[in-house]
Amino acid sequence: MAILTDVQVALVKSSFEEFNANIPKHTHRFFTLVLEIAPTAKDLFSFLKGTNEVPQNNPDLQAHAGKTYEAAIQLQVNGAVATDATLKNLGSVHVSKGVIDAHFPVVKEAILKTIKEVVGDKWSEELNNAWTIAYDELAIIIKKEMKDAA
């Protein structure tokens, strides 16, 4: 497992604070990107079923983004994502929704694009690397929990 440096942890946290400053707009953009990359992914999200577009200001959509961030930000003292009850639950929920390994790169691409848009000129290779490590670590743990839940 990769270990995030203190600088990388700070980069992820500060950029997510910018995301969180306008969470309705940014979650909408994130899910719009997910559907642009993988249109069939809409069936994985209850708040997207039966629609061809991402609803504005949807509280379920915003809560989903918040849960994802809270899991990712569990960057403990050593900079690694910790496994806890939240991630175990995420694993079982992902299994029940039909998430497979191929979905993770889609979400990663959408997260990176969204954060890049949010931070604008602050985007850097270092910030990209920090988010890549944080997401990859989270994905490893969720996939493990999915395997255990299956």
Give the Cα separation of 65 and 24 in Å (integer).
10
Could you report the per-residue pLDDT of 93-141, keeping only the tens digit for each?
788 888 888 999 999 999 999 999 999 999 999 999 999 998 888 888 8
pLDDT band with cut points at 50, 70 and 90 for residue 48: confident
What burial class does residue 87 get, using C-beta atoms within 10 Å of its C-beta: 0-12 exposed, 13-18 middle, 19+ buried? Answer: middle
* Model pTM score: 0.82
Give the Cα separation of 78 and 38 in Å (integer).
34
122: which residues sit within 8 A by CB, 6+ positions away?
15
pLDDT band with cut points at 50, 70 and 90 for residue 82: low
Of 37-46, 75-84, 126-135, give the lowest mean pLDDT range.
Answer: 75-84
Q: Give the percent of the chain with pLDDT over 90.
A: 26
* pLDDT > 50? residue 78: no
Question: How many other CB atoms are there within 10 angstroms of residue 104's CB atom?
Answer: 18
Listing DSSP states for the chain in one string gives: -----HHHHHHHHHHHHHHHTTHHHHHHHHHHHHHHH-GGGGGG-TTTTT-SSPPTT-HHHHHHHHHHHHHHT-B-TTSPBPP-HHHHHHHHHHHHHT--TTHHHHHHHHHHHHHHHHHGGG--HHHHHHHHHHHHHHHHHHHHHHHHH-
CATH class of 6-149: mainly alpha
